[in-house]
Amino acid sequence: MTDQPDGSRRMLTQRRNVLKGLAAAPAGMLVPAIARAAAPATSAVNTTGLAVTDDTVTVGILHSITGTMAISETGSVEAEKLAISQINAQGGVLGRKIKFIQEDGASDWPTFAEKAKKLLVGDKCAAVFGCWTSASRKAVLPVFEQYNGMLYYPTFYEGLEESKNVIYTGQEATQQILAGLDWVSKEKGAKTYYLLGSDYIWPRTSNKIARKHIENHLKDSRVVGEEYYPLGHTQFNTVINKIRLKKPDVIYAIVVGGSNVAFYKQLKAAGIDLHKQTLMTISVTEDEILGIGGENIAGAYACMKYFQSLKNPNNEKFVPAFKAMWGAQSVIGDVTQAAYLGPWLWKLTAEKAGSFDIDKIAAASPGIEFKGAPEGYVRIHQNHHLWSKTRVGRARTDGQYDVVYETPGLMEPNPFPKGYQ
């Protein structure tokens, strides 16, 4: 699964050159010739009645800015706005400036569906960047398919989905899990695993994949426990006692939201030192650590594709630009970075397709490469997910991660993994 994409060597060299170029001459390098040339006629780039004029193109941003999910989704909104303003500063897309209409999903799934429909039917948005939870995506998916819209969805999620009308810029479950388990098995010699998570589809599906991988692909390894807790659960003492009893080599935790805070604090209070006990999570980004507190989670490993501390020229420009726009205190987690990719991928696709038409965008998407991604080079797969690396980071007390491992090649997205279902 870690197969290099075809022609990888050539691409790597290209990428290196591009990165060098990027370091030398910032923004300008990325603007394709077409954007500087006279903008193509509106009738040529928009045959389906989208909101495109001679100098603007309208897109939608659809996240929760109120309600329980607001705290998680704010980063995505900020990243998307940053990307849009950077693209506009470089001349826009197909010679047109991007205008955005922001709608509030209000952490409420029917509201997401209602607003998605408004953005597509009422505002004729050429693309929509949005959604965060799987539930909100499931709610808007039929709307995007029915009214033929294009959604760029940023969150890592459980997979089991593929749509012509969605580009998944986050990882599906196997991209986040398999390489991390391989690493912990090899690096730490881990044999026993204790799986736990919040009780909904993403942790359950992810743990299912993790269990299959542990039992079928890792030598002599087994799962010694698997448990789920309702969303918002705050009493983890029982499971912590069980963990002490079973002494697993690895605690594999997919706890989300407010439960995280209780879980890591109680682990620490119970005297489990994460510098000695290996804990691996796929649900804690830098954003969550703000709530948990760096001192409570320091030592834990997280599997992501992006960490704010990543060292590469793209990221070294992205992080300051983000902070300049949204404040020096802001942190950037995995999903925020994935949200930043959305507008850029859409721009590149529109320029390749030479059109804003949804069908042409959908058809042109596979194979689109974005070399300016803060996470490094990414490419859209035939199945509308991204090829991307898996990285393992170790939490520091200051709330950042040290990257301790990254896969040598890009991981192939595989939303319907055979043998893992």
Partner 1 sequence: MSLLARLNTPERRELLWLAIFSVIILVVLPSILEPFRLNLFGKYLTYGFVTLGLVICWGDAGILSLGQGVFFGLGGYCMAMFLKLEASSVANTKIQSTPGIPDFMDWNQITHLPFFWQPFHSLAFSLAAVVVVPTVLALVIGVAMFKRRVGGTYFAIITQAIAAILTILIIGQQGYTGGVNGITDLRTLWGWDIRTDHAKTILYFVSAIALILCILAARVVRMSKLGRLLRALRDREDRVRFSGYEVANFKIFAFCFAAAVAGIGGAMFTLQVGFMSPSLIGIVPSIEMVIFCAVGGRTSLLGAVYGALLVNWAKTTFSEDLPQLWLLAMGGLFIAVVLAFPNGLAGIFRLAIDRLPKGPGGRRQPGITPVVAEQAGAPQ
Q: Which is nearer to partner 1, 66 or 382 (CB)?
A: 66
* Residue whose entry in the numeric block shows the structure tokens 């390098």: 29
Least separation in angstroms between CB 194 and partner 1: 20
Least separation in angstroms between CB 247 and partner 1: 28
Q: Which is nearer to partner 1, 189 or 419 (CB)?
A: 419
Least separation in angstroms between CB 334 and partner 1: 21
Q: How far apart are CA 412 and CA 3, in angstroms?
A: 7
What phi and psi, each to the nearest 5 degrees, are found at residue 59?
-125, 170
Amino acid (1-letter code) at residue 1: M
Q: How far apart are CA 241 and CA 281, in angstroms?
A: 19
**Tokens standing for 418?**
């055979």
Q: Which is nearer to partner 1, 200 or 359 (CB)?
A: 200
Least separation in angstroms between CB 270 and partner 1: 25
Q: Which is nearer to partner 1, 62 or 298 (CB)?
A: 62
Q: Which is nearer to partner 1, 143 or 267 (CB)?
A: 143
Q: Which is nearer to partner 1, 27 or 135 (CB)?
A: 135
Q: Which is nearer to partner 1, 41 or 121 (CB)?
A: 121
Binding site for partner 1 (CB under 8 A): 65-66, 102-104, 106, 108-111, 113-115, 117-118, 121-122, 134-135, 138-139, 141-142, 146, 158, 160, 199-201, 204-205, 208, 230-231, 416, 421
Least separation in angstroms between CB 258 and partner 1: 15
Least separation in angstroms between CB 377 and partner 1: 30
> What pairs with residue 198 in β-bridges?
229
Least separation in angstroms between CB 199 and partner 1: 6
Closest among 163, 318, 177 to 254, alpha carbons compared: 177
Q: Which is nearer to partner 1, 26 or 110 (CB)?
A: 110
Least separation in angstroms between CB 66 and partner 1: 5
Q: Which is nearer to partner 1, 29 or 160 (CB)?
A: 160
Q: Which is nearer to partner 1, 161 or 288 (CB)?
A: 161
Least separation in angstroms between CB 75 and partner 1: 16
Least separation in angstroms between CB 102 and partner 1: 6
**Tokens standing for 42?**
């509106």
- What are the residues whose beta carbons fall under 8 Å from the beta carbon of 128, sequence distance 6 or more? 59, 60, 61, 62, 116, 119, 120, 144, 149, 150, 151, 152
**Tokens standing for 193?**
């695993």
